[in-house]
Amino acid sequence: MTRLIVAIDTPDMDRAAELARATDGHVDAIKLGLEFCYARGFDAVAELARDRQLFLDLKLHDIPNTVAGGLRSLAPLAPALVTIHAAGGRAMIGRAREALEQSCVGRERPRLIAVTVLTSLDGHALHEIGVEGTPEEQVLRLGALALDAGADGLVCSPAELPALRRTFGAEPVLVVPGIRPEGADHGDQARVMTPRAAADAGADWIVVGRPITGSADPGDAARRIRAELTA
């Protein structure tokens, strides 16, 4: 069963609280990331995440010691899912896993999710940053490294889901942004699919921001996406 995360990308606490309340009961978790955390800080994260599942999407990418320390500092927020960049490499991912395990003795550990290739990048953009091959090849390469180094799952676009499931099976937690209901504006997302197509291709979680938060009725937009997932 594919679960739905609403991405609450706003610097405004009242707006974030309004979006969280409007989508309560229609989504399985809220995502808070750079925009909200930098503007409002982590007390506000804790307040919004009370009684909600949290996807803390800060995409940590630094030397191993710094990422491990960052995750130890974030652990009290008890997110269900937390992100790092797979491109940080084996040692960084291994230390990240270790830090979470040590910080969460006796309670549930956040799942460590490694971002492979941002869903805003297409093949051309990847080549510009020096990556040869297709987005799918790069996702599989970074995915293999991240899972071997200790990540519980990956962020990928819906387009790579079939290849990831064929290669790594059912176990990795696959978290999938780049979701657009039929006819919705793609914005800055390059590798997109509909909620239903992503669910059929094996997403564990889909992450949807603007198609919900930019709607006149965010609760109803989330409800419709959830209905598409379960149809």
Ligand X SMILES: O=c1ccn([C@@H]2O[C@H](COP(=O)(O)O)[C@@H](O)[C@H]2O)c(=O)[nH]1
Q: Which stretch binds ligand X (CB under 6 A): 11-19, 94-102, 125-133, 207-215?
A: 207-215
Is 204 considered catalytic here?
no
Q: How far apart are CA 225 and CA 223, in angstroms?
A: 6
Q: How many residues make contact with ligand X (CB under 6 A)? A: 18
Is 24 considered catalytic here?
no
Quick check: 229 binds ligand X (CB under 6 A)? no
Is 152 considered catalytic here?
no
Q: How far apart are CA 183 and CA 159, in angstroms?
A: 18
Quick check: 118 binds ligand X (CB under 6 A)? yes
Quick check: 16 binds ligand X (CB under 6 A)? no
Quick check: 198 binds ligand X (CB under 6 A)? no
Q: How far apart are CA 199 and CA 25, in angstroms?
A: 19
Q: How far is the CB of 197 from ligand X (least distance, A)?
A: 15
Residues contributing to the site for ligand X (CB under 6 A): 7, 9, 31, 33, 57, 115, 118-119, 155, 177-178, 187, 189, 207-211
> Which residues are identified as catalytic?
57, 59, 62
